[in-house]
Amino acid sequence: MKSLIVVPTYNEAENIDPLVRAIMDLNAGLSVLVVDDNSPDGTGRIVKKLQLEYTDLHLLERAGKNGLAAAYGAGFAWALQRDFDAVVEMDADFSHCPADLPRLLGALKDADVAIGSRYVPGGKVTGWSWDRQFISRGGNIYAQAVLRLPYKDLTGGFTAWSRLALEQVVVPAIQSKGYAFQVELKNRAHRAGMKLVEVPIHFKNRIVGESKMSGNIVWEAALRVLQMRQSAT
Ligand SMILES: Nc1nc2c(ncn2[C@@H]2O[C@H](COP(=O)(O)OP(=O)(O)O)[C@@H](O)[C@H]2O)c(=O)[nH]1
Ligand SMILES: [Mg+2]
């Protein structure tokens, strides 16, 4: 199985070099695509330097900061133009552990989508303030109830997609701005009859660099979930 790890970046100069090395050091035959929105801190330049060392490292450069969903949309389309069988969404900030990648991808052997899940037994979150934990937990309970979905972690961003799921659901549907697209894509895959499984992961808050999460993103996402419910019924 040929797999691509898509890592969107905006100002991740301190994280991107060690992250790429950690993924490549797994020796699991993985390719990496960094989708950089012209980060002012020179993240793209660091990737270009690393490309001299790693032939399976790719860079997609975009003109300016245009949001996570758009970056993933471009990365997924890039993967489908090539012969990848599976694609993983992954943050650049080490919140998602490179060592979990083989287990996440392994789960695609008998599923179309493998959700890296903080909220199933064996999964956990460390390093978040209580209010950030509350927003994440609450957001998941809300989305699960409104959309009547059986998954515990709908908002997370560490997910492996089979090529089939990407082609049939993900690429045609990626339209939410903000973080709602994480919920939307899982919702659509479920409604399309695909098999989704949850794989426990340990999510760690970023140590370096800044989060791009904001209050607006949370409200926009909550509203989008209500719209999704309406379009599903
Ligand atoms: N290309 C691109 N990447 C982004 C953008 N916003 C966030 N990211 C990246 O998406 C990932 C998740 O963002 P992060 O700030 O860690 O959000 P949090 O984990 O929810 O706090 C990180 O790798 C960011 O660098 C964007 O507008 N464009
Ligand atoms: Mg993060």
Structure-token match 């927003």, residue found? 135
* Amino acid identity at 169: V
CA of 156 to the centre of ligand 1 (A): 12
Average pLDDT of the residues of the chain? 94
The answer to whether residue 178 scores a pLDDT higher than 70 is no
For 215, residues 6+ apart whose C-beta sits below 8 A from its C-beta are none
CA of 38 to the centre of ligand 2 (A): 18
pLDDT band at 231 (very low <50, low <70, confident <90, very high): confident
> What is the rounded CA–CA span in Å between residue 87 and residue 75?
9
Q: Quick one: which ligand is closest to 155's CA?
A: 1
**Cα–Cα nearest to 35, from 56, 14, 65, 3:** 65
**Where residue 31 sits, what CATH number does that domain have?**
3.90.550.10
Q: SS3 for 215?
A: helix
What integer pLDDT is reported at residue 29 of this predicted model? 98
What integer pLDDT is reported at residue 177 of this predicted model? 63
pLDDT band at 158 (very low <50, low <70, confident <90, very high): very high
Q: pLDDT digits over 164-173, tens only?
A: 999 998 877 7
Range of lowest pLDDT (19-23, 129-133, 142-146, 216-220)? 216-220
What integer pLDDT is reported at residue 207 of this predicted model? 87
Mean of pLDDT values over 211-229: 84
Q: SS3 for 20?
A: helix
> What is the rounded CA–CA span in Å between residue 173 and residue 145?
22
What integer pLDDT is reported at residue 73 of this predicted model? 93
**Cα–Cα nearest to 48, from 34, 62, 37:** 34
Q: State which residues form the domain around 69.
A: 3-232
- Count up the domains in the chain and report the number: 1
The answer to whether residue 209 scores a pLDDT higher than 90 is no
Instruction: Give the atom of ligand 1 at the shortest distance from the alpha carbon of 67.
Output: 27
Assess contact for 167 and 185: CB atoms under 8 A: no
Q: Quick one: which ligand is closest to 8's CA?
A: 1
Phi–psi pair at 13, nearest 5 degrees = -55, -35
What integer pLDDT is reported at residue 8 of this predicted model? 98
Distance of CA 110 to the CA centre of its chain: 20
Range of lowest pLDDT (31-35, 57-61, 214-218)? 214-218
* Amino acid identity at 159: T
